[in-house]
Structures are given as structure tokens and as C-alpha cells.
Amino acid sequence: MTISEMQTAFKDDASILGDYQAMTKTELANGYCDADEAAIKARDNDDLDKAEEYEMLRSSYYSATMLRYWYKIFDWQKNSYTLNLDSTDFVDWLSDSLYVAFYYRVWRYEFEAIVKEGKFIQYKLDEQGNKIPNSYYYITDPNAPDKIINRCCGSMRGRVFQFHNKDKRKIDTQTYSLNSMVDEEGDYAISYSGAYTEDDRPYIHGAYSLVQMFLEKGETLEALIVDSIAYQDTFKKEKTVNLKKDFDKETGEEVKLKEVSISNRFDSRKLIKHLNSIGEDFIYSFCENYQVTDITGDKILNKLKSLTNVKLYKMIEKTLEEIRQTPSLLDCIR
């Protein structure tokens, strides 16, 4: 089934709700939970016909919610293109993200609660044994379901990236691109000779490890730059046409042959454009991917937003030169 066919199927299912496009995200999320919880109650009462009705309604709310967040699929296609996944894989990402959101349905309770598979277990208690107010309760925060779903989507992308980048069997095309970029961009680099130290600890190879090493060194913005170079659209295709002389074996005459080659070249302007577009969602995904705290993520974002483009260009050059002159960093991409 193609992604277009999937979308059509979701639309058909969601249409049972009527004008589902006019419903808010919170209405859709709560509609799903209401139907799900009603179906569970009906099954517990052995009312299977009623349970089936609620299951169909739950499915419709699910389909409508998938459609409301369908744009995530195209966002993932754009910022996760290095994974070389089929577009339908991103539909699975979205479905899995909603599954997690509805599994815990954090926004449903006035106090923080333990919920599994949509079933309330008990309230969480603080050290004094008191219930903990829920900052994501939808009554006090009407946008809470949207926030939770977005966080689940960010976590999903982070987990998938982590899996792919830690899989030693995977050919690391991102590392190849980063390696080529480091070699190609040496002409404009600033000299930082003697500024960096050797780290002789063993690391697995790859761009993912390179980012982790920068994070361990406390160079968080540099880590973000390396991640962006490796996993975002920061290269441009260049076509080179060469003419060479050859001889026609049949006529013996000299002929000119045209050779066309396509190469990818790092484009710092595209990187700057990406860095300027980074917001909270991207930073949250970055933190999930590299197991960095949200507090550190906020600091990275604040630091990034405080820099002008001129300073960002210098930071990019400094980062590339640090990789070149630090053997343990350079070894990650060799």
C-alpha cells in the first residue's frame, strides 16, 4: 500500500466522525481515550456488541488523529533522509508515536498518574505521600495532548536514529559524507594548531560517536553542528562535464567524448539555514537521540539563537578544524 492509499484509508475511517477536521487536537485525543475506555468497560461487562461499537469509534478517532499529524511524515522525510527509508516507514513512526501517547495518556489526570495500556493504575506520590499536580492536565492546559504527542514524535525519531547509527552492520553513509567534507573544506579553515588534545579512549567509528565525543567534552554547539552536517540536508550536488579525446575503432577518426560526473559538496550556507531554523522540537529530538537532558538542550538552543551568522560560520570552521587536528575525533570518520 502506498502512502497515498494509506492516507485515503484513514480519511474513510475518520469520516465516520463527521467533520473531524473541525475538531481540535485535544478533542480528537480525548475522543480516542473516551472510546477506548468505554470499550474496556463494555468488555468487562461482557457487552461485546457495545465494545465493538466503541472499538470502531476509537479507530475513527485514531485515524483522524493520524491525519491531523500527517505533516510529521513529510518533516521526517526531509530531516531524516540519510536513513534512506521508504515514505511508508514514516507512517509507522507516526503510528508508533500515537501508540505511546495513548498508552500513557498523561493529559487525562489532574494528578500525575501511573497508566499502562490506557488503564489507570495509581497516582504518583511525593516524599510526603501527597499527590503530585499534573502540569500536563488538559483542563488547565488545553494544548497538553498536542505537547505530549509532539514529544512522543520527537522521541520516536531520536530512538530510530540511535538504532541506525549504533548498528555496526550499517554502512555509515553519513560518516562518509562528513569525512569527505572534512577533506574538501581544508582550504578555508582557520589554523588552530596546538589547541586540541588527544583522547585515547576506544570509540566505535561513525558520526554518531563523533557527536557524543563533542558532548562529553562539553562542546555542545559543536556537537549540534556535526550532527547537522551528517544528518541534515547540508550538501549540494555538483555536475562536472569533461571532454576527452578518443578514437573510433571502426573509422580511426578522433572523436570527443563527454563525461558527466555528479558529486556532493558540503554547503556551509545550507548548514547555516538549517541552524537558523532549529527550534524546541528539533532540540528535544537531538537530546533524545544522544541522551542529553532537556536543561542542556535549552542551553544549546539559547546559545545557538544568540549567535549571528558571522559567528556561526566561524564556529563551523572552528569545529571542522578541531576534528582535523584531534586524532581521536578524526579517527571516528576514517
pLDDT at 162: 60
- Mean pLDDT over each residue of the chain, to the nearest integer: 81
- 275 neighbors 267 (Cβ within 8 angstroms): no
Rounded to whole angstroms, how far apart are CA atoms 98 and 72? 12
Give this prediction's pTM: 0.56
Residue 116 in 3-state DSSP? strand
Query: What number of other Cβ atoms are within 10 A of residue 137's Cβ?
Result: 16
Q: Vertex 219, ends 216 and 222: CA angle to 5°?
A: 120
Please identify which residue in the block is written with the cell numbers 534512506.
Answer: 84
Question: pLDDT tens, 233-275?
Answer: 787 766 676 777 666 666 667 766 666 666 667 788 889 999 9
pLDDT, position 251? 66
Apex CA 117: angle with CA 42 and CA 155, to 5°? 145
CA nearest neighbour of 70 among 97, 106, 43, 110: 97
DSSP 119-159: EEEEE-B-TTSPBPB-TT-TTT-TTHHHHHHHHHHHHHHHH
pLDDT tens-place values along the chain, 334 residues long: 789 999 999 999 999 999 999 999 999 999 999 999 999 999 999 999 999 999 999 999 999 999 999 999 988 888 777 677 888 989 999 998 999 899 889 999 999 998 887 888 899 988 889 999 998 999 999 999 999 998 888 878 767 766 665 543 343 444 445 555 555 443 333 333 333 444 433 334 477 788 888 998 899 999 999 988 887 878 776 667 677 766 666 666 776 666 666 666 778 888 999 999 998 878 887 887 787 888 888 899 999 999 999 999 999 989 988 888 888 787 776 6
Q: How would you label 3-17 residue by residue, b for 16+ Cβ within 10 Å and e otherwise? A: beebbeebeebbeeb
- Residue 122, strand partner residues: 114
Is the CB of residue 160 less than 8 Å from the CB of residue 94? Answer: no
Residue 66 near residue 98 (C-beta atoms within 8 A): yes
> Could you count the other beta carbons within 10 Å of the beta carbon of residue 25?
19
What is the distance between the alpha carbons of residues 215 and 297, in angstroms, rounded to a whole number?
Answer: 11
Residue 187: predicted pLDDT: 35
Give me the pLDDT at residue 102, please.
92
Q: What are phi and psi of 24, to 5 degrees?
A: -80, 165
* Interatomic CA distance for residues 144 and 26, integer angstroms: 8
What is the predicted pLDDT for the residue at 45?
92
User: What DSSP letter does each residue of 222-268 carry, written as one string?
Assistant: HHHHHHHHHHSS-EEEEEEEEEEEEE-TTT--EEEEEEEEEEEEE-H
- Torsion on CA atoms 62, 67, 69, 72, rounded to nearest 10: 120
Give the per-residue pLDDT at 30.
96
pLDDT value of position 248 = 62
Angstrom distance (rounded) from CA 211 to CA 80: 17
Q: What is the pLDDT of residue 144?
A: 92
Instruction: State how far the alpha carbon of 285 is from the alpha carbons of 250, 282, 291, in Å.
Output: 62, 5, 10
If DSSP codes are grouped into helix, strand and coil, which group holds residue 111? Answer: strand
d(CA 199, CA 327): 8
**What is the model's pLDDT at position 247?**
63
pLDDT at 155: 76
